[in-house]
């Protein structure tokens, strides 16, 4: 094994030492696990002609109620349609719920797919896997997150990592299954960089972008001189006889921690008070703003977890009784926050001329039951739900697919998670016939046979 120590020495198990600069903890926080260092270059691939687009995936952890929000059934019985009314929007094809009034104002920029479904178990974890990777994990094979695949095929544009998760990785979902927010069989080198901090807090900072304390106290004269020291030290390392033991991830990780540009991309103080307040001074709102800054800075793929867990916080998981959320909680707490922040992101990207080059997709693990339960909520329902898309070449104001009269099953144009993944890859310019290096070195298709992008969106 390789041991990195803060006093500037790195030792291998055979006793060889060389100068080095990083701690294991610092690299782990950046998603560069040591067991995968040696394979990272061989695991890389030349991208098959991707364009310059990026993606922001908003993952609505907990699963919104499509019938109460964006696939309303006003003519259905009361126990189906629920308590909310649809409102007119800027698109004649779209209706939104009255509890999403700002969505109505940007409906011409959003398109909905109302016929998403999957055959996985009605547990959060299974849906997380399928919607973020396009597949349900099976046979001990964990497939990589869509963002990990994009980072693997395209690499990084700048000192920033290619794939970032905000504000942090998902917590548990009750099924004790992997959640899909990882590099899977591509390796830890392609795990996302996770912020692990709440960007809405007054003292928000990203400690992983700073050198470990041991470097500051032992190796560095002043932090302001770190770049010069890094350049000199990396040159020394590259001339050593053991340099082949490490690959480009070492330098990439160090560049991130020492890059002025990377620190500025994460610095929300660069934004005006008005802009920050437009997004909303919430964890989700400031994560949306930070996502825009990261895309501007060169990050290729950002996933925003709207919530971190379905436990101990009010989320989209509206079973109706404690410890879960009620429909009233969705109306009074979740929707106002989400309506403000999501629409601010779309409007901001549009005003900055970034919307066409940035796909924003709104996904969830499943929908909610057509019938309101005895507690006044709705339960898990993977048989029919809605996904949203904006930007990235998507034509706004469209509806693809339809659910039946009570929102129970697709009535037209059924769409599966693999089709969602294919749509994201297509928007980003990736060749859907690409093969990834799968387990045991076997070629692994980017998208399962028979699944294609949702062409009606483009």
Mean pLDDT of 133-146: 96
CATH of the domain at 384: 3.40.720.10
Q: Which residue segment(s) compose the domain that 135 sits in?
A: 45-206+266-457
| Residue 411 · residue 402 · CB < 8 Å | yes
Whether 217 shows a pLDDT value over 60: the answer reads no
Mean pLDDT of the chain: 85
DSSP designation for 141:
B
- pLDDT-derived band at 327, boundaries 50, 70, 90: very high
**Which phi-psi region, left, alpha or beta, contains residue 303 (left: φ > 0; alpha: ψ -120 to 50)?**
beta
The more confident residue out of 293 and 8 is 293
Q: What pTM value is reported for the model?
A: 0.84
Give the residues across from 86 on adjacent strands.
97
Domain count, the chain: 1
- Judge whether 442 lies within some domain: yes
The percentage of the chain sitting over the pLDDT mark of 70, rounded to a whole number, equals 78
Whether 452 shows a pLDDT value over 80: the answer reads yes
**Structural tokens at position 418:** 């693999």
Whether 232 shows a pLDDT value over 70: the answer reads no
- Judge whether 434 lies within some domain: yes
- Judge whether 170 lies within some domain: yes
- Residues 63-101 have pLDDT tens digits of 999 999 999 999 999 999 999 999 999 999 999 999 999
Mean pLDDT of 295-308: 97
Give the C-alpha separation, 445 to 227, whole Å.
41
DSSP designation for 301:
E
- Judge whether 234 lies within some domain: no
Give the C-alpha separation, 109 to 116, whole Å.
20
| Residue 61 · residue 316 · CB < 8 Å | yes
Q: What is the structure's pLDDT at 101?
A: 98
- Residues 10-67 have pLDDT tens digits of 333 433 333 333 333 334 334 333 333 333 334 333 334 446 899 999 999 999 999 9
- Residues 414-434 have pLDDT tens digits of 999 999 999 999 999 999 999
- Judge whether 18 lies within some domain: no
DSSP designation for 155:
-
- Judge whether 260 lies within some domain: no
- Judge whether 416 lies within some domain: yes
Q: What is the structure's pLDDT at 208?
A: 66
Q: Is 116 helix (H, G, I), strand (E, B) or coil?
A: strand
- Judge whether 13 lies within some domain: no
């Amino acid at each position: 094994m390789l041991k990195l120590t803060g006093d500037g020495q790195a030792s291998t198990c055979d006793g060889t030492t060389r100068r080095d600069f990083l701690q294991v903890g610092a690299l782990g926080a950046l998603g560069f696990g040591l067991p995968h260092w040696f394979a990272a270059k061989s695991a890389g691939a030349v991208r098959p002609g991707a364009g310059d687009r990026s993606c922001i995936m908003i993952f609505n952890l907990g699963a919104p109620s499509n019938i109460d929000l964006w696939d309303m059934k006003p003519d259905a019985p009361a126990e189906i349609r629920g308590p909310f009314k649809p409102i007119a929007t800027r698109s004649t094809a779209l209706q939104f719920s009255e509890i999403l009034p700002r969505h109505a104002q940007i409906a011409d920029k959003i398109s909905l797919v109302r016929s998403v479904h999957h055959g996985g178990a009605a547990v959060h974890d299974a849906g997380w896997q399928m919607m973020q990777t396009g597949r349900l994990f099976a046979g001990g094979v964990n497939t990589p997150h869509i963002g990990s695949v994009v980072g693997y095929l395209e690499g990084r544009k700048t000192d920033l990592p290619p794939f970032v998760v905000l504000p942090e990785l998902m917590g548990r979902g009750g099924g004790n299954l992997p959640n899909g927010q990882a590099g899977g069989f591509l390796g830890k080198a392609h795990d996302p960089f996770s912020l692990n901090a709440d960007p809405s807090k007054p003292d928000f900072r990203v400690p992983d972008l700073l050198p470990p304390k041991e470097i500051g106290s032992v190796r560095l004269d002043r932090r302001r001189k770190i770049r010069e020291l890094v350049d000199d030290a990396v040159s020394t390392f590259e001339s050593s006889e053991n340099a082949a033991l490490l690959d480009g991830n070492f330098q990439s990780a160090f560049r991130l921690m020492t890059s002025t540009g990377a620190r500025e991309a994460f610095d929300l103080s660069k934004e005006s008070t008005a802009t920050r307040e437009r997004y909303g001074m919430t964890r989700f709102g400031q994560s949306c703003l930070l996502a825009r800054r990261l895309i501007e800075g060169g990050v290729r793929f950002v996933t925003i977890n709207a919530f971190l867990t379905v436990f101990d916080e009010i989320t989209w998981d509206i079973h109706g009784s404690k410890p879960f959320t009620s429909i009233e909680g969705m109306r009074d707490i979740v929707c106002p926050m989400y309506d403000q922040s999501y629409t601010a992101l779309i409007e901001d990207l549009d005003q900055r001329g970034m919307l066409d080059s940035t796909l924003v997709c709104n996904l969830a693990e499943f929908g909610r039951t057509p019938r309101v339960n005895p507690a006044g909520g709705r339960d898990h329902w993977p048989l029919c739900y809605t996904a949203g898309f904006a930007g990235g070449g998507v034509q706004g104001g469209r509806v693809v697919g339809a659910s039946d009269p009570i929102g129970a099953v697709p009535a037209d144009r059924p769409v599966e998670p693999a089709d969602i993944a294919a749509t994201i890859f297509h928007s980003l310019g990736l060749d859907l016939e690409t093969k990834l290096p799968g387990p045991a070195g076997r070629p692994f298709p980017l998208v399962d046979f028979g699944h294609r992008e949702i062409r009606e969106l483009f």
